[in-house]
Amino acid sequence: MSGTGMASISTFTPGGVAGTLALGAVIYALYQLIRFLWYMRYLSNVFRDVPGPGNSHWLYGDMFQSSTEGDRRLEYLRQLCKQFPRFYRIWIGPKPVIMLTHPDTIKIVLKTAEPKSVGFGGIYRHGRPWLGDGLLIAGGQRWARARRLLTPAFHFDVLRPYMHIYNEAAEELLTNIGPCEKSGKSFETFSVVSACTLDIILRCAFSYRTNCQNLNEAHPYVTAVNEIAEEWANRNRKPWLYPDIIFYLTKKGRLFTRQCKYVHGVAEEVIDKRKRTLDAGGVPEKKYKDFLDILLMARDENGKGLTREEIRNEVDTFLFEGHDTTASAISWILYSLATHPEHQIRVQEEIDHVLEGRQSDRLQWDDMPKLEYLTMCIKEGMRLHSPVPFIQRESTREFTIDGKTLPPGTNLTCAIYSVHHNPTVWHNSLDFIPQRFSKENTTKMDSFAFIPFAAGPRNCIGQQFAMNEEKVTIARILHKYTIEVDPTVEVRKHPAAVMRSKNGIYLHVKSRH
């Protein structure tokens, strides 16, 4: 018996076990390959008759059809929109993506609360290590709960006191660019404006003061956000970097990790400082609850508050959306006005009229509706340059677009830049024409033709905050200075998480008074 027992045991030697495991691994790999090929065939059949480019590669799809240069990629998008003015299909590797380019088609998605796309080929997947499931990326009940809890932070009664912060931050910005007027040197707009908008969001939303506008170089937080956003967009275009195990071994992946750790640390410092104050029974010296107060004290219908991670995700999200997108908008609007002096003069005349007879140059809450022509220029600047070029949803149900039924799990890209340059919607879309947004013209405009803040239930919660910030900052600059573009530096668009300029935007300033 013992001999038989030993013989039986010997058949299960390590070599035999390894062979069995290897065979199992091969069978599993073949199973997954068959599943993948079946799924590819299914997608091919479903999306075969959806309009789109006809030269897609069988492996990587349309990912390399456009140039790596940002301005050329945007030109390619305009060409596709001209060819397919309502919607079209592209392939991101084996994954089809629907590009919505017309108000009629984009509203089908934006009127819903479908979640952002975080799966394979989804543009938000690689932003989650930075922003987590904050309001920008979260979906379903998590998003609905956060939206409900955070909406009070953007009530008019909360926004009104922020006017003095906008003005104070704008005055510091003017102080920083003042030496350029004396020296005749140009200044890089994005870096200066980003520091200003970071100062504003920190003070308004978190009652947190820093010296971020007083540094002689770009604030490290601004630099970190720029690098994170750039690598986020870069990774989205390179499917071989999709697996985390590969990406985080690369030099860029390690930089991404370091910068995420840094911005998370900034958010946690902001949270911890306020929490210590509240725990000690202290009350910040202000008459209103700011965004951070609401985050820390919010309770749902079950009396449950946000977790520490949820609070940090929201702080990270609002620090990004509250300074980076607004800085992009302000920079491109200034560029538009600098290249169109006739419109700049009209804006200056309007500002002069609003401030006439005042001892202070500060703008007030009641002045905002009076800046009608500036508002038209701001909207046209955001249409022309689209600070947020794209947003994307992943369908949880079937969607029918122009008679074509798309299955659940489809990535639906709301191509804001394309909608804003659709030749069937906008005449001479590359021209800066603020009159497009006159009261007379806007009454005839489809509400989904101009969507810099998205639209529908998942629109930007802070759009009124951003519009007022843009008005005050731009108005204060143009009241004091006339701006001109530095002709020695070429301005070239570079779309990432927000619209940037590859070489920056350099402006000269000349005092008006």
Can you say which residues are annotated as belonging to the binding site for heme? Answer: 460
Q: How far apart are CA 27 and CA 131, in angstroms?
A: 38
Look up residue 117 and give its DSSP letter: P
Query: Is 127 within 8 Å of 497 (Cβ atoms)?
Result: yes
Provide the Cα torsion 499, 505, 510, 513; round to 10°.
Answer: 20
Query: Is 424 within 8 Å of 85 (Cβ atoms)?
Result: yes
Single-letter amino acid, residue 306:
L
Per the structure block, which two tokens stand in for 159? 């926004």
Q: Which parts are annotated binding residues?
A: 460
Q: How far apart are CA 334 and CA 194, in angstroms?
A: 13
Which residues sit opposite 412 in a β-bridge?
98, 393
Which residues sit opposite 406 in a β-bridge?
399
- Give me Rg for the CA atoms of the chain: 26
Compute CA distances 370 → 347, 373, 436, whole Å. Answer: 11, 9, 18
Query: Is 391 within 8 Å of 416 (Cβ atoms)?
Result: yes
428 conformational bin, left if phi > 0, alpha if psi -120 to 50, beta if neither: left
CA-based nearest residue to 329, from 391, 390, 379: 379
Compute CA distances 177 → 173, 333, 345, whole Å. Answer: 6, 17, 20
Q: How far apart are CA 306 and CA 145, in angstroms?
A: 10
- Residue 178: Cβ within 10 Å count: 15
The DSSP secondary structure of 126-161, one letter per residue, reads: GGHHHHTTSTTT--HHHHHHHHHHHGGGG-HHHHGG
Contacts of 263 (CB under 8 A, 6+ apart): 130, 221, 224, 225, 228, 316, 319
* Beta strand pairing call for 411-414 and 95-100: parallel
Angle, vertex CA 195, rays to CA 189 and CA 197, nearest 5: 95
Is 270 in a helix, a strand, or coil? helix
Q: How far apart are CA 99 and CA 389, in angstroms?
A: 12
